[in-house]
Chain A
Amino acid sequence: MESLITAAARALEAGDPLGALNRVALRNDAPSLALRGIAMAQLGDLAKAKALLRSAARAFGPREAVARARCVVAEAEIALVSRDLNRPAKTLAAARATLASHGDLANAAHAGHIEARRLLLLGRVDEAERTLAEIAACPLPPASLVVRELVVAGIAIRRLKSKEARTALDLAARAARQADIPALVAEVDSASLILNTPAARLIARGSEHPLLLGEVERLATSTALVVDTFHHVVRRQGVAVPLGTRPVLFALARLLAQAWPEDVAREALISGAFQARHADESHRARLRVEIGRLRTQLKPLAEISATKQGFELAPRKTRDVIVLARPVEEKHAAVLAILADGEPWSSSALALALQMSARTVQRALEELARSSKVQSFGHGRARRWMTPPVPGFPTGLLLPSPLLKA
């Protein structure tokens, strides 16, 4: 390896991107372009970093497959941090295979972690887990270990497995301290907050209280009839009635469950489930039809009986009914929940992650922006959205140092 490249790589490794740039700023050979790209990424200029890494990948000769693959991985990481989730996964997979076949297991693992994080952001938890399982066991530098454990924790949290999540976060915290990178320590800390922040609200017998992730998890063993607004199902232990495709039926079930053991007046059901201001005869007729449908659906779990002024729920085989709801219920809670990761998102990436149409997401963002709950910067395709309290642009870039070698 050559002298200035070695010196610049050592500067980057020591967390001194400006020192690295000083050494290679005016050079345009492939390794210099790659080093400049990584330095720019660490300095937060992601657009420039991406362009430099792309030209570095082109500048490496056909025999320098490993160096080229490392550039592709670095570019994919920048795309992930910029929440550019639409990129084809194929190039990253190919680079990962190249690295693995040339024995660069640490960087191959890094590529796998990037892919798993992307899948996790898209809510494809099973695929993220599969990707993680594919990564060959190899000794990882502490910074990569942090990423791995954060992905494991992310999967566990989405699966409501708080114990696994806590173990992974503890490992991540230890590795972050070992890596001695303040940004990583902060990232693990903020991830750990999730375990101590209410993940849900429990509504039962007319009163409600917040639930931590662990408490939500324990609900799984409860014998109560649960109306779960996260998954739009009504369940009791192993028996579940999915109502995700029947929003009106689910809304009725929820209203009945929230009031249990009291009954709910017809007017309240109509205004709650049909979004109608005044109940007229046609609404009453429709309510009878919908209650009939719900009765059929809920047959294994509960009975719905008519009362003088409305309807009431009568659960079978249990004496408890609870509603599991999001901590804050507002119209665009799902959009806000995703933006809570503090990264800048494009509306198309949000649409992808929420499985909503781009137009719907756009409307939600504009509405949220009017009430100052989100803010945007940039224009056109480069426009990004984020929640306001985040100072600057946390990049979370973790390009590992082996990327720079040879």
Chain B
Amino acid sequence: MKRSAAEIIREYGPFPDIKAVHGVTYDGSHVWFASGGKLNGLDPDSGKISRSIDVAAHAGTAFDGRHLFQIAEDRIQKIDAVSGAVVSTIPAPGGGGDSGLAWAEGSLWVGQYRERKIHQIDPETGKILRTIESKRFVTGVTWVDGELWHGTWEGDDSDVRRIDPDTGKVLEQLDLPAGTMVSGLESDGGDQLFCGGGDSGRVRAVRRPRRTQESAS
């Protein structure tokens, strides 16, 4: 396992009237983050919030190319990214103990915080397809280039880690400075991971290390 300190490239926020960041996703132009009562569209270049959708937003956020998915209480809402309307909802696998959310390969991936689990579910029905065990409380979840990354927060420590999707084994770990919480995670498809900053009300961009020969095997 490779372990290093996370390199924080940029910090966004805190923003007025936003107390906490609960989930993060990226639609190719905007970083969307959940702040309890709404979803906020942040322009990562200007650092300004240019759009927002009024919808209950208590935990993870994901994007499938057309829809935003947002966890609220014990369900997952599917939201039309253009109109902001909730199209449908499915039950969340953790029954409300859910934290992170990611879209990949036609499935939704949901972190279950205190159970230290990641579920792969059917986005139409919410049925659990399989479950990966983690060692730590799971916050955000994301897939990029076939890599499964998730955020952790336990005690005072937070990190983002890449795990083997089959075994749950930790392959790589980036430690955040003590007291810096990761509440949501999303990749920009390139070298950056966007991390929700929990109660700090911030969003941070962390560098995703290039995959090396050894860890790719």
- Residue numbers of A with Cβ under 8 A of B are 1-7, 10, 23, 27, 29-31, 61, 63-66, 102-103, 402, 405-406
CA distance A395 to B60 in the complex (A): 36
Chain B: minimal CB distance from A127 (Å): 32
B97 touches A1 (CB 8 A): no
B199 touches A405 (CB 8 A): yes
- Residue numbers of B with Cβ under 8 A of A are 20, 22, 36-37, 56, 58-60, 71-74, 92, 94-99, 112-114, 139, 153-157, 179, 181, 183, 198-199
B59 touches A6 (CB 8 A): yes
Question: Which listed residue (A23, A63, A402) contacts B96, Cβ 8 A?
Answer: A23
Most buried by B among A2, A5, A31, A103: A2
Tell whether A4 pairs with B58 under 8 Å between CB atoms, given A29-B97, A405-B20, A406-B181.
Answer: yes
A1 touches B198 (CB 8 A): yes
Contacts of A65 in B (CB 8 A): 155-156
Question: Which listed residue (A2, A64, A402) contacts B97, Cβ 8 A?
Answer: A2
Q: Total A-B pairs in contact (CB under 8 Å)? A: 81
Contacts of A64 in B (CB 8 A): 154-155
Chain B's closest residue to A24 (CB) is B96
Contacts of B139 in A (CB 8 A): 1
Question: Which listed residue (B73, B153, B199) contacts A4, Cβ 8 A?
Answer: B73
A1 touches B73 (CB 8 A): no
A3 touches B155 (CB 8 A): no
A-B contact list, 26 entries, CB within 8 Å: A1-B20, A1-B59, A1-B113, A2-B96, A2-B113, A2-B114, A3-B59, A3-B92, A4-B58, A4-B95, A5-B96, A6-B20, A6-B36, A7-B73, A7-B96, A27-B96, A27-B97, A63-B154, A63-B155, A63-B156, A64-B155, A65-B155, A66-B156, A103-B179, A405-B20, A405-B199
Contacts of A405 in B (CB 8 A): 20, 198-199
B153 touches A406 (CB 8 A): yes
Chain B's closest residue to A401 (CB) is B19
A406 touches B199 (CB 8 A): yes
Interchain residue pairs A-B with the least CB separation, the first 10: A63-B155, A4-B96, A3-B59, A6-B58, A2-B113, A3-B58, A7-B58, A3-B71, A7-B73, A3-B98
A2 touches B20 (CB 8 A): no
Chain B's closest residue to A10 (CB) is B36
B113 touches A7 (CB 8 A): no
Chain A's closest residue to B36 (CB) is A10
A10 touches B58 (CB 8 A): yes
Contacts of B112 in A (CB 8 A): 2
